[in-house]
Amino acid sequence: MISVPVVLAGACVGAGLAVIVRSLAAPVPDLSAALRRLDATSAPAPSDVDVIAMSRGHRSFDAGVSWLVDALALRRYRADLDLVGETPETLAVRKLGYGLLGLLFPPVLVAVMALIGVVPPMAIPVLVSVVLGATLFMVPDLDVRRRATAARHDVRRTVCAYLELVALERAGDAGAVEALERAATVADSPAFVRIRDALTRAQLAGVPPWSGLSTLAEQVGVAELGDLADIMRLSGEDGAAVYTTLRARAASLRSQLLSADAAAANAASEHMIVPVALLGIAFMALIGYPAFARILFG
């Protein structure tokens, strides 16, 4: 017969998994509810009671998540989260779900072991639960940083190509604004889409396009994009010839990217030394064991 603690532990694990799935699934907005909120003259119909209750539940959940974001100071990851397409609220829900999963997995494992007659000391599952919960609680932060680093490297590659394209447009007698806009339309990669969106927002706001690029550089944390904005500001405001400057900045950035790739490749090669060495030792032990066993044991 399954005991009550086992059932409760399984329910807690299921709740943790549900929180994780809820954080990963994008909510689908209710179009009718949104239209009713926009229409100030319409009153909620009697059939909308359930919708109002659900909206209140969502507001309570959002308020709790916002408090968790502020308590954990997750808004400091705003630049990294923007790069990977997430929000601080999503990160908070992921951290909570991972932490609960780490806390509740050892008790469930102990309960399963108790069913087969193996009962470890109580201190062991408590210690493992705390350590595993704390470790999994930090996993989403590390994952966001890793993905943001990779995305930022891709943005730098895009900026290197964008510098060359803008230089070519300027060599073709295109104006500063026209060169920036034309060069941003040659590809549909996420970084190029970000650049196009920044230029469009600057145009709608009535500000120069290099101001939009400067804002984007601050958001994503890529200083090279800010350098491009400064160069084009000189060209647009003072009429400076920037073709040579753009090509030189692109060459410098290309050298930096190649050096970073070479360093990453060398680090990966060094990390492979230990597994290869262990594999060689194991192979030699496998080959030499019969001879050593015959010598030692006759």
In a domain, 242, yes or no: yes
106 and 125 in contact (C-beta within 8 Å)? yes
pLDDT band of 130, cuts 50, 70, 90: confident
The pLDDT of residue 44:
46
Verdict on whether the full-model pTM lies above 0.95: no
Mean pLDDT of 156-175: 88
Residues 172 and 100 in one domain: no
User: Which are the contacts of 277, defined by CB distance < 8 A and separation ≥ 6?
Assistant: none
Per-residue pLDDT band at 34 (split at 50, 70, 90): low
Please tell me whether residues 162 and 266 are part of one structural domain: yes
CA-CA-CA-CA torsion sign (85, 88, 92, 93): negative
Residues 95 and 170 in one domain: no
Q: Are residues 95 and 161 in the same domain?
A: no
Q: Tell me what percent of the residues of the chain surpass a pLDDT of 90.
A: 3
The predicted structure's pLDDT at residue 41: 47
Answer with the residue of higher pLDDT: 141 or 16.
141
Q: Could you tell me if residue 63 is inside a domain?
A: yes
> Does one domain contain both 9 and 89?
yes
Does residue 210 share a domain with residue 116?
no
Q: What is residue 97's predicted lDDT score, i.e. its pLDDT?
A: 87
Which of 21-25, 26-30, 37-41, 102-106 is predicted most confidently?
Answer: 102-106
Looking at residue 29, what is its pLDDT?
55
Indicate if 232 and 160 belong to the same structural domain: yes
User: pLDDT at position 5, please?
Assistant: 58
Task: Based on the fold, state whether residues 97 and 162 are members of the same structural domain.
Answer: no
Which tens digit of pLDDT belongs to each residue from 70-119?
777 788 888 788 888 888 888 888 888 888 888 888 888 888 888 877 77
Q: In this predicted model, what pLDDT tens digit does every residue of 243-264 receive, in sequence order?
A: 888 888 889 889 988 998 888 8
| End position of a domain, from candidates 120, 138, 169 | 120
HEC per residue, the chain? CCCHHHHHHHHHHHHHHHHHHHHHCCCCCCHHHHHHHHCCCCCCCHHHHHHHHHHHHHHHHHHHHHHHHHHHCHHHHHHHHHHHCCCHHHHHHHHHHHHHHHHHHHHHHHHHHHHCCCCCCCHHHHHHHHHHHHHHHHHHHHHHHHHHHHHHHHHHHHHHHHHHHHHHHHHCCCCHHHHHHHHCCCCCCHHHHHHHHHHHHHHHHCCCHHHHHHHHHHHHCCHHHHHHHHHHHHHHHHCCCCHHHHHHHHHHHHHHHHHHHHHHHHHHHHHCHHHHHHHHHHHHHHHHHHHHHHHHHC
The type of residue at 167 is A
If one counts the domains in the chain, the total is 2
Q: Are residues 22 and 97 in the same domain?
A: yes
Residues 19 and 64 in one domain: yes
Can you say how many angstroms the Cα of residue 150 is from the centroid of all Cα atoms in its chain?
Answer: 9
Residue-range definition of the domain harbouring residue 197:
152-270
Pair (65, 170) in one structural domain: no
Integer Cα distance of 133 and 103 in angstroms: 5
* pLDDT surpassing 80 at residue 179: yes
Q: Say what the pLDDT of residue 96 is.
A: 86
The answer to the question of residue 213 being in a domain is: yes
Better pLDDT: 152 or 121: 152
Residue 33 within any structural domain of the chain: yes
Are 109 and 63 found together in one domain?
A: yes
Q: Has residue 279 been placed in a domain? A: no
Q: How confident is the model at residue 40 (pLDDT cuts 50, 70, 90)?
A: very low
Q: What per-residue confidence (pLDDT) applies to 42?
A: 46
Do residues 191 and 216 make contact, with C-beta atoms less than 8 angstroms apart? no
Task: Tell me what pLDDT residue 99 has.
Answer: 87
Say which residue the tokens 């030792």 belong to.
281
What pLDDT score was predicted for residue 43? 43
- Residue 51 has a pLDDT of 47
Q: Is residue 13 part of a domain?
A: yes
Asked if residue 192 belongs to a domain, the reply is yes
pLDDT tens profile 46-72: 444 454 545 555 566 667 777 777 777
In a domain, 37, yes or no: yes
